[in-house]
A and B are shown apart, each in its own frame.
Chain A
Amino acid sequence: MDFFLHPTEGTRTPVGHTATDQAGSGGLTATEHRLGNGLRLVLSEDHLTPVVAVCLWYDVGSRYEVKGRTGLAHLFEHLMFQGSAQVKGNGHFELVQGAGGSLNGTTSFERTNYFETMPAHQLELALWLEADRMGSLLAALDQESLDNQRAVVKNERRQSYDNVPYGTAFERIAALVYPDGHPYHHTPIGSMADLDAATLDDARAFFRANYAPNNAVLAVVGDIDPQQTIAWAERYFGSIPPFDGKVPPRDGALPDIIGQELRQEIEEEVPARALMEGYRLPRDGTPECDAAELATVVLGHGLSSRLYNRLVRRDRTAISADFGLLRLTGAPSLGWLDVKAAGGAGLGEIGAAVDEELARLGAEAPTAEEMERAQALLERDWLDRLSTVIGRANELCRYTMLFGDPRLAFTAVDRISAVTGEQVRAVAAARLRPDNRAVLAYEPVTPGDRAAGAAGGPAGTDGGDGQQEDGQRKGAGQ
Chain B
Amino acid sequence: MTDAAVTMDFHPRPGPGPAKPWAFPVPERGALASGLAVLRSHRPGQQVVAVEISLGVPLDAEPHGLDGIAAIMVDGLSQGTATYTAEEFTAELERCGATLGAHADYLGARVSLEVPASRLPRALGLLAEALHAPTFPAGEIERLVSNRLDEIPIELANPGRRAAKQLAQELFPASTRLSRPRRGTEETVARIDAAEVRAFYQAHVHPTAAAAVVAGDLTGIDLDAVLADTLGGWTGDGPQPPPPAPVAAGGEGRVVIVDRPGAVQTQLLIGRVGPDRHDPVWPALVLGTYCLGGTLTSRLDRVLREEKGYTYGVRASQQVLQSPALPAAGASVLAISGSVDTASTGPALADLWTVLRTLAAEGLTETERDTAVQNLVGVAPLRYEQAASVADTLADQVEQHLPDDYQAQLYARLAETGVAAATAAVVAAFPADGLATILVGDASEIGAPVQALGIGEVKVVKG
Report which A residues bind B (CB closer than 8 A). 1-2, 23-26, 46, 48-51, 85-86, 89-90, 93-95, 97-102, 117-125, 128, 131-132, 135-140, 147-156, 158-160, 162-165, 204, 207-208, 223, 235-236, 238-241, 270-272, 302-304, 309, 312-313, 316, 319, 340, 342-343, 369, 372-373, 376-377, 379-380, 383-384, 387-389, 447-448, 450, 462, 464-466, 476-478
Q: Is B87 an interface residue (CB 8 A)?
A: yes
Chain B neighbourhood of A150, CB < 8 A: 309
Q: Which of B1, B48, B297 is the one whose CB lies under 8 Å from A387?
A: B48
The CA-CA distance from A477 to B22 in the complex, in Å, is: 30
Q: Which of A26, A86, A94, A100 is the one whose CB lies under 8 Å from B45?
A: A26
Q: Which of B5, B91, B308, B313 is the one whose CB lies under 8 Å from A373?
A: B91
Against A, the Cβ 8 Å flags (1 = close, 0 = not) of B38-49 are 000000111110
Segment of B204-212, B258-266, B419-427 in the binding face: B258-266
- Given A49-B381, A155-B265, do A25 and B306 touch, yes or no (CB 8 Å)? no
- Given A99-B374, A313-B86, do A388 and B310 touch, yes or no (CB 8 Å)? no
Shortest distance between the CB of B287 and any CB in chain A (Å): 12
| B100 A121 Cβ-Cβ under 8 A | no
Chain A neighbourhood of B112, CB < 8 A: 477
5 closest A-B pairs (Cβ-Cβ)? A100-B378, A151-B309, A477-B99, A24-B217, A380-B97
Q: Which of B15, B261, B385 is the one whose CB lies under 8 Å from A388?
A: B385
- Would you mind naming 30 contact pairs between A and B with Cβ atoms under 8 Å apart? A1-B379, A50-B21, A85-B10, A100-B378, A100-B380, A101-B382, A118-B382, A122-B16, A125-B13, A125-B15, A138-B4, A139-B2, A148-B307, A154-B341, A159-B265, A162-B265, A164-B159, A165-B154, A235-B11, A272-B150, A302-B90, A304-B90, A313-B143, A379-B97, A380-B97, A380-B98, A383-B97, A387-B47, A447-B262, A448-B261
Chain B neighbourhood of A241, CB < 8 A: 7-8
The CA-CA distance from A151 to B9 in the complex, in Å, is: 34
Against A, the Cβ 8 Å flags (1 = close, 0 = not) of B383-414 are 10111000000000000000000000000000
Chain B neighbourhood of A95, CB < 8 A: 13
| A102 B382 Cβ-Cβ under 8 A | yes
Report which B residues bind A (CB closer than 8 A). 1-11, 13-22, 44-48, 75, 78, 86-87, 90-91, 93-102, 112, 114-119, 143, 146-147, 149-151, 153-154, 156-159, 217, 219, 261-265, 290, 294-297, 302, 305-313, 315, 339-341, 370-371, 374-375, 377-383, 385-387
- Given A159-B312, A380-B98, do A90 and B297 touch, yes or no (CB 8 Å)? yes
Tally of contacts, chain A with chain B, CB under 8 A: 294
| A148 B8 Cβ-Cβ under 8 A | no
| B312 A51 Cβ-Cβ under 8 A | no
| B98 A466 Cβ-Cβ under 8 A | no
| B374 A98 Cβ-Cβ under 8 A | yes
- Given A148-B306, A152-B311, A236-B11, do A387 and B385 touch, yes or no (CB 8 Å)? yes
Q: Which of B87, B149, B377, B379 has the largest number of chain A CB atoms within 10 A?
A: B379
**Which A residue's beta carbon lies closest to that of B102?**
A478
Chain B neighbourhood of A316, CB < 8 A: 143, 146
Chain A neighbourhood of B90, CB < 8 A: 302-304
Shortest distance between the CB of B335 and any CB in chain A (Å): 15
| B47 A23 Cβ-Cβ under 8 A | yes
**Which A residue's beta carbon lies closest to that of B386?**
A387
Q: Which of B16, B98, B295, B382 is the one whose CB lies under 8 Å from A51?
A: B382
Chain B neighbourhood of A125, CB < 8 A: 13-16
**Which A residue's beta carbon lies closest to that of B158?**
A164
| A476 B157 Cβ-Cβ under 8 A | no
| A148 B309 Cβ-Cβ under 8 A | yes
The CA-CA distance from A164 to B378 in the complex, in Å, is: 35
The CA-CA distance from A119 to B22 in the complex, in Å, is: 10
Shortest distance between the CB of A118 and any CB in chain B (Å): 8
| B18 A90 Cβ-Cβ under 8 A | no
Shortest distance between the CB of B168 and any CB in chain A (Å): 20
| B295 A465 Cβ-Cβ under 8 A | yes
- Given A387-B46, A476-B99, do A319 and B296 touch, yes or no (CB 8 Å)? no
- Given A152-B309, A159-B339, A464-B296, do A85 and B381 touch, yes or no (CB 8 Å)? no
Q: Which of A128, A153, A154, A448 is the one whose CB lies under 8 Å from B11?
A: A128
Chain A neighbourhood of B143, CB < 8 A: 312-313, 316
| B312 A97 Cβ-Cβ under 8 A | no
| B96 A163 Cβ-Cβ under 8 A | no
Q: A241-B7, A466-B296 are in contact. List 6 more A-B contacts (CB 8 A).
A: A85-B10, A119-B381, A124-B14, A239-B8, A313-B86, A343-B149
| B1 A240 Cβ-Cβ under 8 A | no
Chain B neighbourhood of A23, CB < 8 A: 47, 117-118, 217, 219
| B20 A50 Cβ-Cβ under 8 A | yes
- Given A26-B45, A387-B386, do A152 and B312 touch, yes or no (CB 8 Å)? yes
| A158 B98 Cβ-Cβ under 8 A | no
